[in-house]
Chains A and B, each alone.
Chain A
Amino acid sequence: MNEENRKKREWVKSAAIVFLSVMLVLTFFSNTIMNYSLPEVATQMIMSGSITSKIRGTGTVESGDPYNVEVSESRKVTSVAVRVGDEVEVGDVLFYLEDKDSDELVAAEKNLAELKKAYDINILTGLDAALVSKVESGNVATVEEHKRIINNLKAKMDAAQKEVDNAQKALDDANAWVNALNFQISITQPANTDVSKQEIALNTAKAKLDKANLKLADAQEAYDRAVEVSGNDPAAILAAEQELEKAREEVENCTANVATCQTALDTAKFNAENAVLASEQAKANLNAQLPDAQLKAYVAQKTLDEKTKVLTECEAAYNDYIAMIPTEFDLVSQLEAIREQEALVEELRQSSVGATINAGISGTITALNVIAGQSTNPGSPAAVIQPAGQGYTLSISVTKEQAQRVSVGDPGELVNSWWYNDVQAVVASIRPDRNDPTKMKTITFNLTGEVTDGQSLSLSVGSKSANYDMIVPNSAIREDNNGKFILIVEQQSSPLGNRYKATRVDVQVLASDDTKSAITGGVYGWESVITTATKPVEAGQLVRLPD
């Protein structure tokens, strides 16, 4: 029991000693240990100073207002009298040219020859000589006149056609009349020349009379007989008398009939003769008219033929004229082309350049674009001269925000300026960039000093610097969703030494340049701001300063 207790006490004692010693060590080194766990910060005092926000850009030097030496023809260059960089005076020879016609003149003359050839071919292939001379003398009618002539011809043609139609109609009428006459003649016949009926009637009547005479004779016989036979037979005698009377009557009737028929026959014969006479007369009349009618028809035919001939002539004239017009126009245009070409050739001849190209102004040659043996090109300058005393320019492209910091007249500095002697730059203009006018601007500088065309320079230009009371390095500015702030170091004394605490102060940034910013906020101006730290620092956290 005692052993156990003793063992337990030993154990408790050693545990307590270990525990207390650890506590002691930790207490003594607590500050150091804590310090090691704190982030170490670098600080800087808030100062006053100036902010100059600069815009930088790089561009190529161009000579301002260069003078282009242009040659208006293509001529071959025999030798170049100057080099790039030479200074020339007015009238100095730049190029010697071959004394030949320029390429343009040669080409123009060739063209003219071809046009003339085409024209000659056209004329010789069977064209009307009158037309050719008319065209060459310039006596061509205008389009209006042509129209008028064509209309006239057409009118004539139409009139001729009308005449022909009329003549045709007249002929038809005349022919119709002749035919009518002939027809009339053919159908003219005497009417009623036929007496045969009456002759028959007469013969019948005569026959009847003969019969009646016979009957009478019979009846007379019969009476006589009756009288003879019957003697006093009154009835028989009466009857025979009656019969005899009847027969006598009959004979009388028939005789009368015969007489009538005879008369009728005579009348008919008489009429018939008259009719024949009449028809003969009529026929003779008609025949008398016939030659007239035939003559008329003949004349009408003749007229028709004439008119038809006239019509044909009018039509021919019209068609010829129509066919002539394109030929005329062709000739006219060909002639015009020839005249123009002749004028061009004349012009080229007159403005033909002499044997040399001279400098029009004095200055420095900055570019030579043709070498000996090449031909000059009228479209591009053969040489470029920088006028003496004129300046150089340089343009840089910047964003709109960057351009806002620059004004015309600001001086520019060269980046790495120690390389260049006395080069000065001044902002000459700020214009919208041609390639991207909505977002970019072009700043153009006027340069003086030793620069050459084509050199690449980097410039920086800034608005006049402004002074501010509180300036901190850019690395001191932090931001969260409560805006921008800085962390200042506040010193607190404590029994265990100085403690430093990071405190947040909200600020506004007024201006900034490449390395520092100007701020306003709840600071007096003598605080130390935290610029960098070994670990992220939060507001309210303890920090330590470097030793």
Chain B
Amino acid sequence: MKRLLGWMTKKRMILVISCAISVLVFLVLSGISSYLAEKQDSQMMAARWSDKGDVAQISCFLSQNKGLDEYAILNFEHKLDSDLVEASIVSESENENARLWADAYSATGKITMQSNQASVTVNAVGIGGDFFLFHPVTMKSGSYFSGNDVMKDYCIVDEETAWQLFGSNDIAGQYITIGGIPHIITGVYGREEGRLAKAAGLDSSQVFVSYETLSKYGMANKIDCVEIVMPNPVKNYAFNYVKENIGIDEGEMEVVENTTRYTTFSLLEELGEFGTRSMNGKAIIYPYWENIARGYEDILILMLVFRIMFILYPCVLLFISLVIAWKHKTWTTKSVFLLLKDKWDLLLEKLREKKRRKKSEKMV
């Protein structure tokens, strides 16, 4: 201990402390990075679907020119079923109703809702499939609905809309009319808040309705987002499968693997695209969750840069100190070897001594 303190000059003390701080900052930033990444519920579907890590969530964003319709998606689902069977990917669950994959699709637009008191025109997301498995928005009351339900006249509104239509949050089960047709509100949800959320498109009221309702009674584009969580036995299997079989030309869509988008490797790749990242050559409008995810990607890339800097500093210092220590080393291999040999001989001698003593004791 004394020797150590002696060796530690003021300069060296400063270096060591700065290294420690650097490593600490690195750990803190890493912690914050993974916290931010895991906070994105919309990107964490794979973890929710299977805790074995053998599934991947893929999102497909389609350009305004090219959308899909429900029948195209139905065909894709059927093809996926048969291709999975062909590739011998079967469910290993004991539950016979367990599904290998789940999907959802959505389109954005506007819709007008009417209650006894008021009529509002709001942004709307028309959903199909198990949309709320992928986007577990915070429900203030009531429950989700699914695009696979038999009746397609459900909807979920946000708190603002609920307040305007009924004056309360607890309105699950109430009827409103859309296009003259009665619809049931199944729940009220809380919209994400924050700078990123507002910029991403959540700056005004938004409701979720079925895609059938939106396309019949509201103003909507074609389906512009398709998401799926499916088995991913090898790297990029799911990504490539969706890309090739969704039936849209590559120039009219953007395919993203949500599961790996915040890993260090992916972030490094995005960093490599630094100059070209903001360029958009495809007429794609991202839904609000994708905009938020991209915002966080930018933040995480910045953090990654800092993390690299902060870990580089101690690493470089360590390396330099090792080099210097090597240059000034006082020992040689031979001397170390002789030392070890001595210690070993000593140990053997001690053991032999013990044995002799035991033997003599026994004899007595």
Question: Which residues from chain A sit less than 8 Å from chain B, CB to CB?
Answer: 53-56, 58, 399, 401-402, 405, 415-416, 456, 458, 473-476, 479-484, 506, 508, 512, 514-515, 531-532, 534, 536
Q: Which residue of A lies closest to B140 (CB)?
A: A532
Contact A58 B182 (CB under 8 A): yes
Contacting residues, chain B, for A474 (C-beta < 8 A)? 143-145, 186
Contacting residues, chain B, for A482 (C-beta < 8 A)? 50, 93-95, 98
| B187 interface residue per 8 A CB criterion | yes
**Separation of A424 and B180 alpha carbons in the complex (Å):** 21
| B99 interface residue per 8 A CB criterion | yes
Contacting residues, chain A, for B154 (C-beta < 8 A)? 514
**Separation of A483 and B94 alpha carbons in the complex (Å):** 9
The listed residue (A58, A481, A512, A536) touching B50 by CB distance below 8 A is A481
The listed residue (A401, A456, A483, A512) touching B98 by CB distance below 8 A is A483
Contact A401 B180 (CB under 8 A): no
Contact A475 B55 (CB under 8 A): no
Contact B97 A514 (CB under 8 A): no
6 smallest CB-CB distances across A and B, nearest first, come from: A475-B143, A483-B95, A483-B98, A482-B93, A474-B143, A481-B50
| B173 interface residue per 8 A CB criterion | yes
Contact A402 B95 (CB under 8 A): no
Contacting residues, chain B, for A55 (C-beta < 8 A)? 150-151
Could you give 24 example pairs across A and B, Cβ below 8 Å? Answer: A53-B150, A54-B151, A55-B151, A56-B182, A58-B181, A58-B182, A402-B151, A405-B150, A415-B175, A416-B175, A456-B180, A479-B133, A480-B50, A481-B99, A482-B95, A483-B95, A484-B97, A508-B97, A514-B184, A515-B172, A515-B186, A531-B143, A534-B138, A536-B136
Q: Nearest chain B CB to A250's CB is how many angstroms away?
A: 149
Q: Nearest chain B CB to A216's CB is how many angstroms away?
A: 154
Contacting residues, chain A, for B180 (C-beta < 8 A)? 58, 456
Q: Which residue of A lies closest to B41 (CB)?
A: A536
Contact B98 A532 (CB under 8 A): no
**Separation of A514 and B180 alpha carbons in the complex (Å):** 20
Contacting residues, chain B, for A479 (C-beta < 8 A)? 99, 102, 130, 133
Contacting residues, chain A, for B184 (C-beta < 8 A)? 514
Contacting residues, chain B, for A531 (C-beta < 8 A)? 143
**Separation of A416 and B184 alpha carbons in the complex (Å):** 12
| B204 interface residue per 8 A CB criterion | no
**Separation of A534 and B41 alpha carbons in the complex (Å):** 13
**Separation of A536 and B136 alpha carbons in the complex (Å):** 8
Contact B151 A481 (CB under 8 A): no
| B314 interface residue per 8 A CB criterion | no
The listed residue (A476, A481, A506, A532) touching B100 by CB distance below 8 A is A481
Contacting residues, chain B, for A405 (C-beta < 8 A)? 150
**Separation of A405 and B145 alpha carbons in the complex (Å):** 19
Contact A402 B150 (CB under 8 A): yes
**Separation of A58 and B152 alpha carbons in the complex (Å):** 13
Contacting residues, chain B, for A475 (C-beta < 8 A)? 139, 142-144, 187
Contacting residues, chain B, for A514 (C-beta < 8 A)? 151, 154, 173, 184, 186
Q: What class of interface size applies to chain B in its complex with A? A: 35 or more
Contacting residues, chain B, for A480 (C-beta < 8 A)? 48-50
Contacting residues, chain B, for A401 (C-beta < 8 A)? 150
Contact B142 A481 (CB under 8 A): no
**Separation of A258 and B181 alpha carbons in the complex (Å):** 163
Contact B49 A481 (CB under 8 A): yes
**Separation of A508 and B99 alpha carbons in the complex (Å):** 13
Residues 173 to 208 of chain B near chain A (Cβ within 8 Å): 173, 175, 180-182, 184, 186-187
Contact A458 B182 (CB under 8 A): yes
**Separation of A385 and B133 alpha carbons in the complex (Å):** 55
Residues 154 to 173 of chain B near chain A (Cβ within 8 Å): 154, 172-173
Q: Nearest chain A CB to B100's CB is how many angstroms away?
A: 7
Scan B71-105; emit 1 where CB is below 8 A from any A CB, else 0.
00000000000000000000101111111101000
Contact A56 B97 (CB under 8 A): no
**Separation of A67 and B124 alpha carbons in the complex (Å):** 46
Q: Which residue of B lies closest to A473 (CB)?
A: B143
Q: Nearest chain B CB to A440's CB is how many angstroms away?
A: 12
**Separation of A56 and B94 alpha carbons in the complex (Å):** 36
Q: Nearest chain A CB to B90's CB is how many angstroms away?
A: 12
Q: Nearest chain A CB to B72's CB is how many angstroms away?
A: 15
| B257 interface residue per 8 A CB criterion | no
**Separation of A359 and B187 alpha carbons in the complex (Å):** 55
Determine which residue in B130, B136, B139, B151 has the highest number of CB atoms from chain A within 10 A of its CB, and name it. Answer: B151
**Separation of A189 and B182 alpha carbons in the complex (Å):** 138
**Separation of A195 and B10 alpha carbons in the complex (Å):** 189
**Separation of A481 and B90 alpha carbons in the complex (Å):** 11
Q: Which residue of B lies closest to A534 (CB)?
A: B138
Contacting residues, chain A, for B49 (C-beta < 8 A)? 480-481
Contacting residues, chain B, for A416 (C-beta < 8 A)? 175, 182
A482-B95, A483-B95, A514-B151 known; 4 new pairs, CB 8 Å cut-off, are A458-B181, A481-B49, A482-B94, A483-B96
Q: Nearest chain A CB to B77's CB is how many angstroms away?
A: 16
Contacting residues, chain A, for B91 (C-beta < 8 A)? 481
Contact B139 A506 (CB under 8 A): no
| B227 interface residue per 8 A CB criterion | no
